[in-house]
Structures are given as C-alpha cells and as structure tokens.
Amino acid sequence: MGFYRTNAEKERINSFAEAEARYNDVKPVISKNHTKGDDIRPVGDRRRKWERIVKVSDTCYELTVTDYYHDNTPLIRWEDIDGYYEQVTFWNNGRVSGYTMLENLCPIDLVFFVEGSTGRQYVGIAGGDKCFAPKDMQKPITFKRLRSGDLLASWKQVGTRYTFKHAMTRVNKQIKEAVKPLTDKFYKWVITTYPMLPLSDYQYRYKMQREFEEYFNGKGINYTWYNRGNPDAVEDKINMLRDEEHEMRLHLAMEWLVDSSLYDYNGNRTVTSQEDATKVRASWNRFVNRTLGLNFNVEEEKIEEEKIND
C-alpha cells in the first residue's frame, strides 16, 4: 500500500479539463539535472519530481511515475473523446511508488484501494462497483463518461473487465485419512494444554518462533514460521505429531495457536459455544492441510477477461 499526503486533495485531477489546466499551469523543472527542454512538470508537489504530468496530444494527458525501473511510466491517462466524452485509464505497476500515486491522484469520484483481506488492488466507482486492477502493465482498466458543459455523468467501465479467479484446490483424502489418528490426538492435547500457555507474551511467542525456524534451518530446510506450506518440513512435522516427547512438539502447537481463534491480542480465548468450537476445528483442519502439504491445485489461479461495450 502507498502513503497518503496531507495535500493530496489539492493535487487530485478530477476531469480532462483539470488535467489540461494542470499541465498548462505547471512550470517545467529547471536544475543542474533537468533543462527546460526535458519538460519535467511535477503533477503536484514540485519536490516529487518523479510524479509527472505529460502532454501526449491536445486530447491526451498522462500522469507518470519515474523510478529505478522505468522513466515516465503512465499510471493515469486522461483523454478527451470527440468533445463529448472523457476517458480515464489506470495502470497498476505493482509497486509502492505506483500505489502511492494512484491512491493520491485518483479522481475523487473513483478510488484506488488495496483490499485488506486479499492484498489485491481495485478501482472503485463512488457508490458503485469495484473493478479489479491486475498488477500487469498490459492490462489497464478504463472508465468513460459523458460531458455536457460543466456537467459530468457517472463513470462507466469500458474496454476490458478483469476478474480474479482463485486456484481450485483439493485435499489428498487418502493421506489425510492415514494421518488422522495422529492429528486428532495432537489436537485434543493442544486444546487441553493451550489455557496454560502464555500466548499473550510476545517474548514467549518470538522465542518459540525463533527456535522452530532454527530447528529446520539446522536441517538445511529454509523455514519461515508464517509460511507453513514447506514440503521439506512435512516428514519432521509428522514425527512431531507422532512423538509425544519430541522437542518441537509444543512449538508446532504454538505455530497453529497464534493463528487460530483460540488466541487474539488480549491473550487466550475461551470456547463458549458450538459455533466457537466449529471455528476452532475448521482452523485446525486448514492448518493440517497446509502444513502437511495435503492441498493440491486442480486449477491454477487466473485472471479472466471480458470485453465491455462502450
């Protein structure tokens, strides 16, 4: 996600007319690194020379970003269409520099945002739909509206609509059934033990995390606490489930507990209803499927495209 600026509302461009006026009002930067001929015009704060407004033609202006990767990468394009319509196009370059610019310079009746639960990016129409913005410079999203004098109609997405489709996964039921006696016994032990554990103690949680990662790293396995789908660790984890005296048995329990509904930032939580118990068990099942590598994709995630009539 990008970072908001205190003067972002003043910097926003909300129409083609404003884009044209902004370009004409901004004086090119002249310095030891830039000449007037370079025509570098910061779209907002002049100290942010990497965020620029560029005139492509009398009917097209682009807001661009310059970073370590590319110069003048277009992220927002404003176009006048035959004097009756205006069109704005967005590109998502998948980098923080791009997110910052889109969040702050998106017109006020459209909004660029990162969906917190998924991490995916969207442009939302005020009071309307949210439109998926792929991290792909070959997949821009475009909106169009009628202009009549100073009156502007509502935005409508045109061109191509993109839809994110999750990967379709299945669980290897044969292997899951084989390890079920181990996982069931371990689960009963954990839910009996967890009330006695200091889950709200950050130092304790960090110590358990560090020791668990060091255990696997010592075996030549690059393991991260929050990335539990490592196939190289499965055999060791099955041994932890099987061996009640295993030195890492409690660490494995902690790995699940800190991400389960039995814990929040206030500490240990108590199961008080059947609904709570169902959520805890579902969380455990997801953990088992992931940490023992029981999930497999039958179809990879993808982005579907749909052409939209103008």
Give the residues across from 144 on adjacent strands.
87, 156
Report which residue type is found at 3: F
pLDDT of residue 217: 93
What's the half-sphere exposure (Cβ side, CA atoms, 13 Å) at 148? 4
pLDDT of residue 185: 96
Q: Which residues of 276-296 are buried (b: 16+ CB within 10 A; e: fewer)?
A: eeeebeebbeebbbebbbbee
pLDDT of residue 4: 42
The secondary structure of 206-255, three-state, reads HHHHHHHHHHHHCCCCCCECCECCCHHHHHHHHHHHHCCCCCCHHHHHHH
Q: Are 157 and 308 in contact (CB under 8 A)?
A: yes
Q: Are 169 and 295 in contact (CB under 8 A)?
A: yes
Q: What is the pTM of this model?
A: 0.60
> What's the rounded Cα separation, in Å, for the pair 271 and 195?
11
Pairing of strands 85-90, 141-148: antiparallel
What the block records as the tokens of 6 is: 């205190």
> What's the rounded Cα separation, in Å, for the pair 292 and 231?
7
Q: Are 194 and 268 in contact (CB under 8 A)?
A: yes
Q: Are 190 and 253 in contact (CB under 8 A)?
A: yes
Per-residue pLDDT of the chain (310 residues; tens, 9 = 90+): 344 444 567 889 999 999 999 999 999 988 887 778 888 999 988 888 899 999 999 999 999 998 877 888 999 999 999 989 999 999 999 888 898 899 999 999 999 998 876 788 999 998 788 999 999 999 999 999 998 777 788 999 999 999 998 777 777 788 888 999 999 999 999 999 998 998 888 899 899 999 999 999 999 999 988 776 788 999 999 999 999 999 999 999 999 998 887 876 666 777 778 888 888 899 899 899 888 888 766 667 788 899 987 6
pLDDT of residue 267: 63
DSSP code at position 280: H
What's the half-sphere exposure (Cβ side, CA atoms, 13 Å) at 189? 18
pLDDT of residue 8: 64
> What's the rounded Cα separation, in Å, for the pair 131 and 286?
30
- CA-CA-CA-CA torsion for 259, 265, 270, 273, nearest 10 degrees? -70
